[in-house]
Amino acid sequence: MSIDLRSSESEPSPSGQSSPSSTADQRTPFKTYKKTLNPIRELGNKLKTVPSNGRYYDVAQDILGIKTGLSNVFLVGAPGSSQWVLVDAGMPGSANLIVSTAARRFGANVPPSAIILTHGHFDHVGSIISLCRRWDVPIYAHTLEMPYLTGRSSYPPPDPSVGNGLMSLLSSMYPKKPIDLGHRVRVLPPNGLISQLPGWRWMPTPGHTPGHISLFRNDDRCLIAGDAIVSVRAESLVANLLLTPEMHGPPMYFTPDWHASRESVRAIAALQPEIVATGHGIPLYGEEMQMRLGKLARNFELEAVPDHGRYLRGPAIADESGVIHVPPSQPQPGVSGAMILGGLAMGLALGWMAGPRRHREWRDLL
Ligand SMILES: [Zn+2]
Ligand SMILES: [Zn+2]
């Protein structure tokens, strides 16, 4: 099977750009696509993931997801259209992938109308500087995310002690320095509407970061949730490699405000989305997803909040200038660089050698 990237198979026009009308029939409407190709993975737990092909996710007729290493970006716009928007900018080193995929889907030299950032963590802005060199387009983010996108403040430090996974343990090594997008980055309009993205509205979903946002389209109840919720156990390296679908709270090690995060998940659940595309993991859809999202919102403390950790008693506090208070760190006995590297090697070995089902109890700890 192949996902419609409006790829090299499509006929270019004499000008080198394809016209939308000539390729409208090449689109892959979500429901038709499901019926004809039926590549949907229905696992034992009945969580349904959207059709995927390698690193590409067919989220909806006009939404293509791309997995860039550990995190996802989304191209929102009908194949062949000259109007499209990029949501998030992926891991470092992903610019060529994003640009070439966009060229195949929308035509050569068709930049997005805008780039919208759900938040500024390194795995969501990793390629934005490179993308800016090629595309002179506005970038939008929430006003409370600006300090981390204009070089003014680092995020609160991660908490490697939570989540029981190698991704958590390694989190102290992740890039923390803010990037500086200067004048290119603009504050999202306060009314929830973005002119470049008709039919959608943005909503604040803080907790994972102070200015985290999600995007929702009422027509098909599609939600792009960033890291407010994720569809994989983000703390686990093996889960990230296997992309085992889950309905999961935000990555624990990078979430410094659990109260705000809970309110955000409740707001997301209240939308009753039918498709959920998250910053990590394969996008989910369907009744089982909705049921689990409701359960996550109701049982947030039990399902999403760690039972210990730096940000449990009180959150990191931030304002429009950046972080102004961080709770003291908690001792983490016995966690050394050597242990982390050793664990990483063991995790990789076990993850690939043990197969998809065996030794699950070991893999879940990695
Ligand atoms: Zn994040
Ligand atoms: Zn992320």
pLDDT in tens, 290-307: 999 999 999 999 999 999
pTM above 0.85, yes or no: no
Residue 337 confidence class, pLDDT cut points 50, 70, 90: low
Ligand nearest to the CA of 256: 1
- The C-alpha atoms of residue 127 and residue 100 are separated, in whole angstroms, by 13
Q: Which residues contact 184 (CB under 8 A, 6 or more apart)?
A: 132, 138, 139
CA of 250 to the centre of ligand 2 (A): 9
**Helix, strand, coil proportions of the chain in percent (round to 5)?**
30, 20, 50
Q: Which tens digits make up the pLDDT trace of 177-226?
A: 899 999 999 999 999 999 999 999 999 999 999 999 999 999 999 999 99
pLDDT of residue 165: 87
pLDDT for position 343 = 52
Contacts of 361 (CB under 8 A, 6+ apart): none
Rounded Cα distance between 347 and 170, Å, is: 12
State yes or no: pLDDT of 14 exceeds 60: no
Of residues 344 and 290, which shows the higher confidence score?
Answer: 290
Cα-to-centroid distance, 360 and ligand 1 (Å): 26
Are 228 and 264 in contact, with CB atoms under 8 Å apart?
Answer: yes
| d(C-alpha 90, C-alpha 128), whole Å | 8
Task: Find out whether 234 and 72 touch, Cβ atoms under 8 Å.
Answer: no
Ion ligand 1, residue ranges at CB < 5 A: 121, 227
DSSP annotation of 2 reads: -
Q: Which ligand has the nearest atom to the CA of 90?
A: 2
319 within 8 A of 144, measured Cβ to Cβ: yes
Q: What is the CA(10)–ligand 1 centre distance, in A?
A: 36
How confident is the model at residue 344, as a pLDDT? Answer: 54
Report CA(209)–ligand 1 centroid distance (Å): 7
- Tokens for 198? 């008709």
For residue 278, which ligand has an atom nearest its CA?
A: 2
The ligand that comes nearest to the alpha carbon of residue 72 is: 2
| Nearest ligand, measured from the Cα of 240 | 2
What one-character-per-residue DSSP string does 221-260 give? TEEEEETSSBSS-TT-HHHHHHT----B-S-GGG---HHH
Task: State the Cα–Cα distance between residues 224 and 241, nearest whole angstrom.
Answer: 21
pLDDT, one tens digit per residue, over 26-63 is 333 344 334 443 444 444 558 999 999 999 999 999 99
Q: What is the DSSP pairing of strand 284-285 with strand 317-319?
A: unpaired
Give the Å distance between the CA of 132 and the centre of ligand 2: 20
Q: How far is the CA of 176 from the centre of ligand 2 (A)?
A: 13
Kindly give the distance from the C-alpha atom of residue 185 to the centroid of ligand 1, in angstroms, as a whole number.
18
Cβ proximity of 68 and 80 under 8 Å:
no
Q: Tens of pLDDT along 21-32?
A: 333 333 333 443
Strand-pairing partners, residue 71, are 68
Rounded Cα–Cα distance for residues 235 and 251 (Å):
6
C-alpha–C-alpha distance, residues 190 and 98, integer Å: 29
Tell whether the model's pLDDT for residue 359 goes beyond 50. no
308 Cα: distance to centroid of ligand 1 (angstroms): 20
**Residue 173 in tokens:** 């090594």
Distance 123 CA to ligand 2 centre (A): 5
Are the C-beta atoms of residues 114 and 186 closer than 8 Å to each other? no
β-bridge partners, 68: 71
Cα(103) to centroid(ligand 1), Å: 27
User: What is the residue type of 159?
Assistant: D
Ligand with the closest atom to the CA of 91: 2
